[in-house]
Structure 1
Amino acid sequence: MKINTGNLKKDILSPLFLAFEKASFRLLYVGGCVRNSILNAGTTDVDLATDATPQHMHKLAKEMDMRAISTGEAYGTLTFRLERHNFEITTFRKDIRTDGRRAVVQFGTSLKEDAARRDFTINALYSNSQGTLIDPLGIIEDVKKQRVCFIGDAQTRIKEDYLRILRFFRFHAWFGGLKSGIDAEGLAACAKLGSGLSNVSKERIGSEFFKLLAASNPAPSLSAMENSGILKHILPGANARPLSLLVDLEKGLKPDALRRLALVGGDQMQENLRLSKAIIKKIKMLRHLAQSSELPQEHGYLLGAKAGWDSWLVRCALLEKIATEDEHKKIITSASKNLPVEAADFVDLFEGSALGAVLRSAQEIWISSNMQLNKSELITQVLVHNK
């Protein structure tokens, strides 16, 4: 079987393939880039594998006057820099010992051993520079049928790195077929070993969860996470149920993990997922307005057209209602409007905290009028309201 290497930066990598071949080493595409080429799933990072050791690779880089960065040399990985692109090349290896987070590896020359140590069957395919598929474990049907399965015994694979629990659900969200469903053995293993996620750093968990939520439709995977108890392990208080409705409401919008996380919610999100303060602030703004404001124009005015529509969709999903085009238009229109009064209009009558309260009152009255009141009308109503 041949794959299309057109999206795998073959022209840029050509000198590297040639140099490895001249030195009698194999250099192969591996993992996600091969999988995505078969599934026509778009581009991803191009990773490569070789039977050359890191020492051999350093020597080749020097001979080619090329930069090779030791990004994970203890694990056999060097990053080659070609034409402003980074390419990770990793020596064939097998795991000698693992502790659930990291492994002690032994370099080798066996492609089958290298494939057998990988996490999922869909990530254990290789290709040479000409696009000839190499399938050491005979698992091509899993890719074709979009089945996400652990390689070998699922529990053994998970114990090598507990993050694989989340990767199982993430890969199912991105590449799992609706007909094949989620792999029962893998799901059972994840449910049994879920407590092992406490051994994984919160940063890795947050990164993996964000990637999952960015899939086209992560709702089935998130539901499986909830039903198997995994969701509560990583984000207590999160609710997967309304996500399927939000995905329907998004109507062709680009998948947005932040929007979806605002809907799913959860306790102590910053602590549990180690997200940046800026991201947490955006999520809180979306969720707060979704839960507190029933006026679409308020969403647009306070958050802008895009974020306002996001918060409105989150609200609709939480309330299990349909978002209308009229509501969308109100959000877009309100995003460009300005409150017709300012503090100077009330400074002779109010001061301090009372002035701030009056301005908030003015904003509420103006938004409730569908932003139709002019300055004099608004001042009159504000003064009546704040007698």
Structure 2
Amino acid sequence: MNHPLPLSVSGPWLEAPATQQIFALLEQAGHQIYAVGGCVRNAILGTAVSDIDLSTSARPDRVLALARAAGVKAVPTGIEHGTLTLVIGGTGYEITTWRRDVETDGRRAVVAFSERIEEDAMRRDFTMNALYADARGQIIDPLGCGIADARARHIRFVGEPSERIREDYLRILRFFRFYAHYGDPAEGPDPEGLAACAELAGGIELLARERIGSEMKKLLAAPDPAPALAAMQASGVLAHALPGADAKAMALLVHFEAGRRPDALRRLAVLGGADPATGLRLSRQEAREYALIRDHIGSQLSPAALAVKIGASAGASVLLARAALFETPPPGEAEAGLVRGAQAQFPVRSTDLPGLSGPALGARLKALEQAWLSSDLRLSRAELLALSVPGPGG
């Protein structure tokens, strides 16, 4: 059944007093102002709106002057590119003057301000992101295809795909990330866009690793990133983003994860490849969490022992990763072992070994704990103390 194209959007994000205050601030001064991009796209798709970006015909200095006159805090977060952040009630709203690209080098652009919304739309990455809405929710579709592409969940570059990519090679990864989150997996990626990404994949290596890492983590957080990752691998893009990674186990992992919150680091551990701590510039905490999973996938520890060694949450990720990579049955009943391990305590204390101290005591406790873990936590205190466990030199 065909449904009429939506001509307007609504929602608390648009109707909020702070949002309407900003619209009124610019409109009453004779300027055009619209919500743009993700908030409009998500409202059409019926998904949550988290950030509100605004675009205007007013120049940055004019926006700044109007905000100050109204007592609204304005932060020049990117004023050289036309962006200010207006802060109302502790929430920031980015507002950017309409722009057109003057010069690009694949990583950043030199822009000039524009009087035409069509020029602003033409510099955006995908048609579904080149949508605007006024204070009343009326949609403006300067390209004439953004609404239809959003409804069809068709991720399509604005204009010529290769031109958009050469402006910023990060758009290659954004193409797959948007496909993972908003695309129709039954239709597959846009053929022209996919071909351009494959042809220009080497440009990814010009990007800062932090930017690559950020995009990859967002992609891996999609409900089901498997179709996008398979397309990335087939096109050669994945090898440039994360050398050595293999996406073949991702679909099975996603199947085993049913009912669980998506975990980008668990999925990254299943992808494998070059150390993402350096290759994707993970934070220290992320690198630790990744290493806990990746380093224990091949271990022989039982579920209960995993929970003791690395925690129940990381242990569950290891069990899922093992099942996907080795094509074994999903954890199922094994998860009861994680619960048992989370509640267990190593039964031997240093006071149980009165004849030892210092490094010798530490080595004996470590050896006994390893024996306990290897027994699936079954050995009792008495059984452990009765073991003949080699010491530091034994």
State the TM-score bracket (shorter-chain normalisation).
Answer: over 0.9
Kindly indicate whether the alpha-carbon contact (under 8 Å) linking 2:177 and 2:215 is maintained by their aligned counterparts in 1.
yes
- 2:97 and 2:91 map into 1 onto residues whose CA distance is 20
Residue 290 of structure 1 is matched in structure 2 by 297
Percent of residue pairs bearing the same amino acid type: 43
2:376 pairs, out of 364, 370, 376, with 370
Q: Quick check: 1:10–1:129 contact (8 Å CA) kept in 2?
A: no
Give 2:81's aligned amino acid: Y
Shift in Å, 1:10: 2.8
**Amino acid in structure 1 at the alignment position of 2:100:** K
Deviation of 1:207 (Å): 0.7
Match of 2:4 in 1: none
- Residues 21, 200 of structure 1: alpha-carbon distance in 2 compared, 3 angstrom cutoff: same
Q: CA RMSD in A?
A: 1.7
Q: 1:59 aligns with which of 57, 65, 80?
A: 65
Give, in angstroms, the shift of residue 345 of structure 1. Answer: 2.7
Shift of 1:355: 4.4
Distance 1:8 1:378 in 2: 65
Q: Check whether the contact 2:14–2:135 (CA below 8 A) recurs between aligned residues.
A: no
SS in 1 for 2:328: coil
Contact kept, 8 Å, 1:99 with 1:160, in 2: the verdict is yes
Q: Which residue of 1 aligns with 2:39?
A: 33
Q: Which residue of 2 aligns with 1:177?
A: 184
Within 2, Cα distance between the matches of 1:92 and 1:293?
58
CA contact (8 A) 2:301 2:374 kept: no
* Distance (whole Å) between structure 2 residues aligned to residue 334 and residue 281 of structure 1: 21
Instruction: Structure 1 unaligned segments of length 5 or more: list them.
Output: none
* 1:92-131 correspondence to structure 2 within 5 Å: 92-131=98-137
Give 1:328 shift: 0.7
Q: Which amino acid in 2 is paired with 1:114?
A: D
**2:388 aligned residue (356, 367, 383):** 383
Counterpart position of 2:278? 271
Whole-Å separation in 2 of the counterparts to 1:384 and 1:269: 38
The 4+ residue runs of structure 1 with deviation greater than 4 A are 354-357, 384-387
Deviation, 1:13, is 1.4
TM-score (structure 2 length as normaliser) = 0.93
Paired with 1:18 and 1:35, the residues of 2 have a C-alpha distance of: 22
Deviation string, structure 1 residues 264-292 (Cα, Å, up to 9, x no partner): 12213222111122211211111111121
> Equivalents in 2 of 1:236, 1:72: separation in Å?
33
1-side partners of 2:48 and 2:19: how far apart? 19
Task: Report which stretch shifted further, 293-302 or 15-24.
Answer: 293-302
Q: Deviation per CA, 1:322-357, whole angstroms, max 9, x where unpaired?
A: 2233211110221121100134433525863x5444
Q: Deviations over 1:233-255 (max 9, x none)?
A: 12111111111111111121111
Give 2:234's aligned residue.
227
CA contact (8 A) 1:302 1:335 kept: no
Is the 8 Å Cα contact of residues 198 and 237 (structure 2) preserved in structure 1?
Answer: yes
User: What is the aligned partner in structure 2 of residue 159 from structure 1?
Assistant: 166
Q: Unaligned stretches of 5+ in structure 2? A: 1-6
Q: How many residues align?
A: 385
